[in-house]
Amino acid sequence: MSILASKNTRLLVQGMGRMGQLHAKLSIEYGTQVVGGVHPGKGGTTLEGIPVFDTVTEAVAETGADASVIFVPPGGAADAILEAADAGLGLTCCITEGIPTFDMARAKRAMRGSGTRLVGPNCPGVVVPEQCRIGIMPAQITKPGPVGVVSRSGTLTYEAVDQLSRLGIGQSTCLGIGGDPVIGTSFVDALTLFEADGETEAVVMIGEIGGSAEEEAARFIQEKMSKPVVAFIAGQNAPPGKRMGHAGAIIAGGKGRASDKMAALEAAGVTLAKSPGEIGQTLAARIR
């Protein structure tokens, strides 16, 4: 199996602008079942061979979709997330970068108790190798296999996946959870899913400075995880008080340092990759 998605996933694309259309096309080429698009005002048209609807509810009724990917601009993205939840989708993956923090804090609170899982925002999405591509990842670098990959970053995820694939080590699911301060799916959520997934035998986790999600993951790994975890923390040389590209990547008030996260993970039995060039090798050494 895999986590979050599979070849049976029926995907909607919310926001059929230039990016939405491009990635709908790339996902279809990868074999993903993209069953519809949602773009207010474009309902009734067809784009990239996909029927477009004005609302998610309508799209779900017509297509039987169970997941969506969001390419809506920042000002409307939280609204799109709540619309996906309102329509009862099981998964919504928000790619949009730059959503105001308040909008996300409110939307996430409002989603408590709903059956919809949010991945992101500000994330590259989810790839189940040779089955399903949700988002913007270059799925051709992935390869089916036993390693779950979860990361707060985009291109650094590709780097790690590429290192694994070149060593002949495939992935069960590759997942970017996003670089914002408020995100739907945390490391702990992703690790919980990987621990329960029959196909996943080990996990690569890529964290970065800012917040305390890695420390929470360390606690979870220590208490609940049986599968080996290898981690790398980006930003070990980042100066305090500076936002390093991602809205959430900032060492503030002495909190969120890479060294604290690495110490917590190491104490929980996680093997740390000392260099970002050795993520694949470190995993290979740990499972062999």
Partner 1 sequence: MNVHEYQAKELFRAFGVAVPEGHLATTPAEAEAAAKRLGTPVTVVKAQIHAGGRGKGGGVKLAKSPAEAKQHASDILGMTLVTHQTGPAGKLVRKVYVEAGSDIERELYLALTLDRASEDFAIIASTEGGMDIEEVAERTPEKIHSEFIDPNVGLQGYQVRKVASALGLDKAQTAKLGVFLDGLYTLFTEKDGSLVEINPLVVTADGDLLALDGKLGFDDNALFRRPDIAALRDPEEEDPLERAAKEIDLAYVGLDGDIGCMVNGAGLAMATLDMITVCGGSPANFLDAGGGADKEKVKEAFKLILEDEKVKAILVNIFGGIVRCDLIAEGVVAAADELGVEVPLVVRLQGNAAARGREIMAASGLNITPAETLQEAGEKAVSAARGA
- When asked if residue 181 is in the footprint of partner 1 (CB under 8 A), the reply is yes
Q: Which of 14, 153, 185, 282 binds partner 1 (CB under 8 A)?
A: 153
Q: Of the ranges 56-64, 219-227, 249-257, 264-272, which one interacts with partner 1 (CB under 8 A)? A: 249-257
Binding-site string for partner 1 from residue 20 to residue 49, where x marks contact by CB under 8 A and - marks none? --x---------------------------
Closest to 211 measured CA to CA, from 250, 244, 237: 250
Is residue 124 a contact residue for partner 1 (CB under 8 A)?
yes
Closest contact distance (angstroms) between CB of 246 and partner 1 is: 4
Are 71 and 93 contacting, i.e. CB atoms less than 8 angstroms apart?
no
Q: Give the alpha-carbon dihedral of 162, 167, 168, 171, to 10 degrees.
A: -50
Continuous H helices in 87-184: 101-110, 155-166
Q: How many CB atoms lie within 10 A of CB 103?
A: 19
Looking at the Cβ atoms of 54 and 216, the one nearer to partner 1 is: 216
Looking at residues 49 to 88 of the shown chain, list those that interact with partner 1 (rule: CB under 8 A): 74-75
- Whose structure tokens read 């993951």? 217
Number of residues that bind partner 1 (CB under 8 A): 61
Interface segment toward partner 1; rule CB under 8 A; list 28-36, 53-61, 175-183, 190-198: 175-183
Least gap, CB of 214 to partner 1 (angstroms): 12
Give the contact letters, 254-273, x = binds to partner 1 (CB under 8 A), - = no.
x-------------------
Distance separating alpha carbons of residues 204 and 220, to the nearest angstrom: 15
Catalytic one of 117, 152, 246, 261? 246
Q: What is the rounded distance in angstroms from the CA atom of residue 216 to the CA atom of residue 234? A: 17
- Residue closer to partner 1, measured from CB, 148 or 210: 210
Of 81, 80, 172, 67, give the one whose Cα is nearest residue 130: 172
Show contacts with partner 1 in window 186-225 (CB under 8 A).
Answer: 206, 208-212, 216
Please list, residue by residue across 184-201, b when 16 or more beta carbons sit within 10 angstroms of its beta carbon and e when fewer do.
Answer: bbbbbbbbbbbbebebbe
How far is the C-alpha of 235 from the C-alpha of 28, rounded, in Å? 35
Asked if 68 contacts 32 with a C-beta cutoff of 8 angstroms, the reply is no
Catalytic residue numbers read 246
- Residues in touch with partner 1 (CB under 8 A): 22, 74-75, 98-102, 105-106, 108-110, 124, 136-138, 141, 151-159, 162, 179, 181-182, 206, 208-212, 216, 232, 234-239, 241-249, 253-254, 274-278
